[in-house]
Amino acid sequence: MKVAGTAQLPFPPERAYDLMQDPAALQKAIPGCNSLERTGDDEYKLSLKMVLASLSGQFEGKVLLTDHNRPYSFKMLVEGSGKIGFVKGEGVLSLMLLDGGTEVAYEGEAQIGGSIASVGQRLIDTTSKLLVKRFFKKLAKIGSGETDAAEDEA
């Protein structure tokens, strides 16, 4: 499955770039994420709850960040698995200054297996878009210093 799109953040690329490497910010921004910790220089371990169609389950995974080119781009490799399946993917995030803010362009490929592939197939595309949208929306708020306790909707 191809994943591609763009998102806007209301602060400059340097801030956006750093936020996207900050475990505390990421944990808050990633929908359903209940823990995220740094395990190595560019390695993170995370645990999140995923809901898709009639399925829901805990995912344990790791994230690897490489090809750093602050504040322009970096590469992200994600691997996660749980009772309801597994996800494996990699993508490049490019950051660009736009009207004083940042435009993030992401492009990558994901492989999905297990129950989520056979049961939630028709929803994966729209759900992943929705999750990405939520992620950036939250990140925008965190980066702007907004507090939003009431908005834990994921």
Chain residues binding other proteins by CB under 8 A are: 53, 81, 83, 85-86, 111-115, 117-119, 121-122
Question: Minimal distance in Å, beta carbon 2 to other proteins?
Answer: 13
Question: Minimal distance in Å, beta carbon 50 to other proteins?
Answer: 14
Residue 79: what are its φ and ψ, rounded to 5°?
Answer: -140, 130
| The dihedral sign for the CA sequence 20, 88, 30, 4 | positive
Contact predicate 52/61, CB 8 Å: no
Question: Minimal distance in Å, beta carbon 86 to other proteins?
Answer: 6
Query: In the complex with other proteins, which residue's Cβ is closer, 1 or 96?
Result: 1
Query: In the complex with other proteins, which residue's Cβ is closer, 129 or 133?
Result: 129
Closest to 71 (Cα-Cα) out of 93, 52, 56 = 93
Query: In the complex with other proteins, which residue's Cβ is closer, 27 or 115?
Result: 115
Say what the alpha-carbon torsion angle 86, 92, 97, 103 is, to the nearest 10 degrees: -40
Question: Minimal distance in Å, beta carbon 61 to other proteins?
Answer: 14
Q: How far apart are CA 101 and CA 32, in angstroms?
A: 26
Q: If DSSP codes are grouped into helix, strand and coil, which group holds residue 152?
A: coil
Query: In the complex with other proteins, which residue's Cβ is closer, 125 or 146?
Result: 125
